[in-house]
Amino acid sequence: LALLPGIGGAAEADDSVRSLSAWTNQRGSTLYIDNVSASGQLTGTYINRAAGFGCQNTPYPVTGWVLGNAITFTVLWRNAVQSCNSITAWTGFYYQGRITTLWQLVSNGTTSPGQIQQGQDVFTRSGKAEA
Ligand code: BTN
């Protein structure tokens, strides 16, 4: 299966965005990419370890899209362990071994744009995805 550069399959030797890759950001959180389909749909899990936030240290489902070197992914912060009543969406790009993103975090009950938290996360490869 020939895939576009940047999407790739698990057998590729480079470190681009692809299935079964793990990416850790500067806050210590990890994005595990389980699959990127031929159409670019991304699935995986996210473990938040960022200081100052809730819902740490347990896996949350991730869904997203990959288009060439462009990527978006989203986490609903709800699992069997803890719910934070919030959603984060990251938008970014893969370039020179990094996924550089801007994110926004919205909580259920938000009523004004100023209540949307935002920031930047930069992810680097941290090994193969865990089950
Ligand atoms: C919450 O506190 O409402 C849920 C956890 C949010 C964690 C945020 S998402 C953006 C930033 N990057 C991370 O890896 N963690 C924080």
51 Cα: distance to centroid of ligand 1 (angstroms): 9
Instruction: Indicate whether 13 pLDDT > 70.
Output: no
Distance CA(29)–CA(98), nearest Å, equals 14
Task: Over range 10-18, report the average pLDDT.
Answer: 59
Q: Which residue from 25, 30, 53 has its CB within 8 A of the most atoms of ligand 1, so it is best to mutate?
A: 53
**What local confidence, expressed as pLDDT, does residue 3 receive?**
38
pLDDT tens digits, one per residue of 58-88: 999 999 999 999 999 999 999 999 999 999 9
ipTM: 0.99
Task: Specify the DSSP element, H or E, that contains 46.
Answer: strand 41-47
Instruction: Indicate whether 10 pLDDT > 60.
Output: no
